[in-house]
């Protein structure tokens, strides 16, 4: 499974705030057209998202990406074939959920088949907003709750505040989990060694992509590993400032045709 054309580029895209506008919750027409032009040029397109595979919106799947790198590197597929999958052992997962509740931490528990929330209403309004989003767009987060157990998951998204014993929870996770600070008491928690960079590296090596032909596009802190990894890193116009030291190019906002602008800047379309 090797790409023979030395000019083929691998393009890795975050979703929220990169392909999908945080303002309109839509993919701009210019982005869809630009991605198709890049495909026509022979380049390879990959989603590289913190979302697990069950939470990839249908309109993104319709764009015909070459592969999906999901859950911060816990799931990798190429042309419909699953190449890599890593979940948290059920026993360890249950222990994590018990500790989460003991430490008064709220979590969204993300698996490949479903998303799990607590049965009670969260004290965090943004968590309830996410619950409603998963229900409305995907029909997820409805049948099984965190308290029910009996499921396997890949990662977590945690919310903490002054009521949380955050340090005790993180200490409990430290042996086998990595914690990604999303700022303001928000954290992504993934199996140790999994990241957007690890997912990029897996694909690049698997397909024999030249390092100078790797491009990543993102806007938030969980994009940092792939920004540090790739030869060409593009930050969206609206982006977390921690990305700037690693960004080779800052494009326009999503709504201002930022993806098309960046692809034209690099001569990829």
Q: Which CATH number fits domain 10-85+194-265: 3.20.20.210, 3.30.499.10, 3.40.50.1000, 3.40.50.300?
A: 3.40.50.1000
Over residues 12-39, the mean pLDDT reads 96
Condensed to tens digits (0 to 9), the pLDDT of residues 91-111 reads: 999 999 999 999 999 999 999
Running DSSP on this structure, what letter comes out for residue 163? T
Query: 252 vs 7, which has greater pLDDT?
Result: 252
Condensed to tens digits (0 to 9), the pLDDT of residues 43-59 reads: 999 999 999 999 999 99
Residue 71, CA atoms < 13 Å, CB-side half-sphere: 29
Residues 106 and 159: their CA atoms lie apart, in Å, by 5
CATH 3.20.20.70 is right for the domain spanning 90-191: no
Residue ranges per structural domain of the chain: 10-85+194-265, 90-191
Q: Would the CATH topology of 10-85+194-265 be identical to that of 90-191?
A: no
Condensed to tens digits (0 to 9), the pLDDT of residues 131-161 reads: 999 999 899 999 999 999 999 999 999 999 9
Q: Nearest 5°: phi and psi at 161?
A: -150, -165
* Region at 165 (left for phi over 0; alpha for psi -120 to 50; beta for the rest): beta
pLDDT at residue number 170: 98
């Amino acid at each position: 499974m090797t790409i023979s054309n030395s000019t083929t580029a691998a393009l890795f895209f975050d979703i929220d705030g990169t392909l999908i506008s945080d303002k309109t919750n839509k993919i701009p027409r210019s982005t869809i057209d630009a991605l198709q032009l890049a495909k026509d040029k022979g380049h390879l397109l990959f989603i590289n998202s913190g979302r697990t595979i069950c939470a990839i919106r249908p309109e993104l799947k319709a764009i015909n990406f070459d592969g999906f790198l999901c859950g911060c590197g816990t799931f990798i597929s190429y042309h419909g074939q699953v190449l890599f999958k890593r979940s948290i052992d059920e026993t360890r997962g249950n222990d994590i959920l018990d500790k989460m509740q003991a430490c008064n931490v709220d979590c969204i528990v993300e698996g490949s088949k479903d998303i799990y929330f607590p049965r009670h209403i969260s004290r965090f309004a943004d968590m309830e907003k996410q619950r409603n989003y998963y229900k409305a767009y995907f029909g997820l987060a409805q049948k099984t709750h965190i308290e029910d157990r009996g499921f396997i998951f890949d990662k977590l998204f945690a919310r903490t505040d002054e009521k949380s014993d955050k340090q005790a929870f993180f200490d409990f996770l430290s042996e086998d989990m990595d914690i990604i600070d999303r700022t303001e008491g928000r954290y992504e928690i993934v199996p140790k060694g999994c990241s957007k960079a690890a997912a990029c590296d897996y694909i690049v090596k698997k397909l024999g992509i030249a390092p100078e032909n790797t491009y990543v596009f993102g806007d938030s802190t969980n994009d940092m590993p792939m920004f540090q990894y790739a030869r060409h890193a593009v930050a969206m116009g609206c982006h977390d400032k921690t990305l700037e030291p690693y960004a080779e190019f800052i494009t326009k906002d999503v709504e201002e045709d930022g993806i098309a602008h960046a692809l034209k800047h690099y001569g990829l379309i």
